[in-house]
C-alpha cells in the first residue's frame, strides 16, 4: 500500500526537528523537570522511555506549551517555541495525542475527524486521498464512521485519536503511550500503522511503556529518570544491551 506524504518540506533542514536544552518545568510548588536535554531527529521515530513518574508526560506537555518551561529553551524547526502558547505551537503542524486520547465521546467518529480538520467545515472538504490513506491505516475508523466515539473499544478509540492527529499533514506527531491497555492484536496493528507513518516522512515522538513496541519501532531513544534525560542514543543499541536496560529501566527488553 502506498502512503501519502505527511510532512511538509522545510526551509530549515537541520538534523533535529525538535530540540530541548536545559528545560526546567515547575507545576505549582513542584519542580518536575530538572534540565531536560532532548533531540528529536527529523524524519525518525524517537522513543521516550522511563519509569512511572520520570517526567515523560510533563516533557510532552511542556513541548506543547500546556505547561511553560521555567528555564531552558525549546526549538522546533529552528524556531524558538519556549514562550509560545499551545494554539500557536499546534499551528506549526505539531499534533499531540495525550494519554487520555482527547476524543469527544458524544460525537460520532466522523464529527471527531471533522473537528480535527482545521481547514474543513464539512466532511466533503477533507482531503479524500488523505482520508482513504487513514482508512487504510485504521480500518475501524471507516467501519464505525457514523457511530458515537464513546461506544468504541479502547483500541478503536486510540486509532481514532491518532487518525485525528494526522487528518491534516503534520511535521511532528507526539503521542503519549499509544499501546496502553490495548490487546496484543491491537498493539500489532498500531505498530504497523506507525511504521507506515514513519515511512511517509512524518517525525514522531512516542512515550511508551511497552518495550516490544519501542524495540520494533524506535530509531532513537531517550531515557528519563527523575526529571532528566539520563541516556540518549540508538534504539537498536539499547535493545541489544541488557545490562544498560536494567540499569536505566530496571528490566530487560
Average pLDDT, the chain: 89
Contact indicator for 231, 248 with CB cutoff of 8 Å: yes
**Domain limits, the chain:** 17-93+170-247, 104-169
CATH superfamily of 17-93+170-247: P-loop containing nucleotide triphosphate hydrolases (3.40.50.300)
Query: What b/e readout covers 32-52, taking b as 16+ CB neighbours within 10 angstroms?
Result: bbeebebbbbbebbbbbbbbe
The Cα–Cα gap between 143 and 130 comes to 16
DSSP string for 169-201: --SEEEEE-TTTT--HHHHHHHHHHHHHHHHTT
Helix, strand, coil tally for the chain in percent (to 5): 35, 25, 35
Question: Over the stretch 89-135, which tens digit does the pLDDT of each residue have?
Answer: 999 999 999 988 789 999 999 999 999 988 888 888 888 999 999 99
Q: Kindly state the cell numbers that stand for 22.
A: 536545559
Q: What is the pTM of this model?
A: 0.88
Residue pLDDT, tens place only, 175-199: 999 888 788 888 888 888 899 899 9
Q: What is the grid cell recorded at 205?
A: 515522538
Cβ burial of 237 (10 Å; 0-12, 13-18, 19+) is exposed
Quick: pLDDT tens for 43-89.
Answer: 999 999 998 899 999 999 999 999 999 999 999 999 999 999 999 99
Question: Could you read off the pLDDT of 123-161 as tens digits, one per residue?
Answer: 888 889 999 999 998 999 999 999 999 999 988 999 999
The pLDDT value given to residue 13: 60
188 versus 220: the higher-pLDDT residue is: 220
**3-state SS class at 248:** helix
Nearest to 149 by CA among 99, 97, 109, 101: 109
Neighbours of 134 (CB within 10 A): 23
Amino acid at each position: 500500500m502506498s502512503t501519502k506524504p505527511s510532512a511538509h518540506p522545510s526551509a530549515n533542514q537541520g538534523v533535529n526537528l525538535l530540540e530541548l536544552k536545559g528545560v526546567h518545568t515547575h507545576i505549582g510548588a513542584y519542580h518536575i523537570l530538572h534540565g531536560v536535554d532532548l533531540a528529536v531527529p527529523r524524519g525518525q521515530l524517537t522513543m521516550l522511555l522511563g519509569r512511572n513518574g520520570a517526567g515523560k508526560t510533563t516533557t510532552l506537555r511542556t513541548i506543547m506549551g500546556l505547561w511553560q518551561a521555567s528555564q531552558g529553551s525549546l526549538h522546533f524547526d529552528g524556531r524558538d517555541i519556549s514562550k509560545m502558547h499551545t494554539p500557536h505551537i499546534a499551528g506549526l503542524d505539531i499534533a499531540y495525542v495525550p494519554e487520555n486520547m482527547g476524543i469527544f465521546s458524544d460525537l460520532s467518529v466522523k464529527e471527531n475527524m471533522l473537528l480535527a480538520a482545521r481547514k474543513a467545515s464539512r466532511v466533503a472538504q477533507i482531503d479524500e486521498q488523505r482520508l482513504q490513506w487513514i482508512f487504510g491505516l485504521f480500518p475501524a475508523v471507516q467501519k464505525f464512521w457514523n457511530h458515537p466515539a464513546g461506544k468504541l473499544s479502547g483500541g478503536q478509540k486510540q486509532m481514532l485519536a491518532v487518525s485525528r492527529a494526522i487528518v491534516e499533514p503534520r511535521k511532528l506527531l507526539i503521542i503519549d503511550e499509544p499501546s496502553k491497555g490495548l490487546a496484543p492484536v491491537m498493539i500489532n496493528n498500531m505498530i504497523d500503522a506507525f511504521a507506515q507513518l514513519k515511512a511517509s516522512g512524518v517525525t514522531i515522538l512516542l512515550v511508551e511503556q511497552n518495550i516490544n513496541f519501542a524495540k520494533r519501532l524506535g530509531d532513537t531513544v531517550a531515557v528519563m529518570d527523575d526529571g532528566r534525560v539520563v541516556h540518549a542514543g540508538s534504539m537498536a543499541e539499547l535493545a541489544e544491551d541488557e545490562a544498560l536496560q536494567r540499569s536505566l529501566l530496571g528490566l530487560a527488553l
